[in-house]
Amino acid sequence: MENFFLGVGIFLSFLVFLCLYRVMFGPTIIDRIVATGAIGTKTLAVLVSIGFIYGRIEMFLDIIMVYALLNFIGTLMAAKYFEGRGEI
């Protein structure tokens, strides 16, 4: 089972790099904001798989919840900022 979660973690890390390409070279601001949110979501899934690999999911649960909240607030603040500047 550890090999499965390790494979999932590696695959999700690869997907994070694909989203990072969209953040760097996205055609619009909206694409970049969505890609940043997707990176945060994939990072949460990687943290869950790391928790299962080490058998300490309860330890990672607090980290995951705080990171999810920061990801959500950060995405909202970026969207609000660019909306205020008239770029969205």
The total of structural domains in the chain comes to 1
Contacts by 6-14, CB closer than 8 A, 24 or more apart: 6/49, 6/53, 8/45, 8/49, 9/46, 9/49, 9/50, 9/53, 12/42, 12/45, 12/46, 12/49, 13/46
Over the stretch 38-49, which tens digit does the pLDDT of each residue have? 999 998 888 888
Q: Tell me the pTM.
A: 0.81
Over the stretch 18-42, which tens digit does the pLDDT of each residue have? 999 999 998 888 888 899 999 999 9
Q: Domain range for residue 51?
A: 2-84
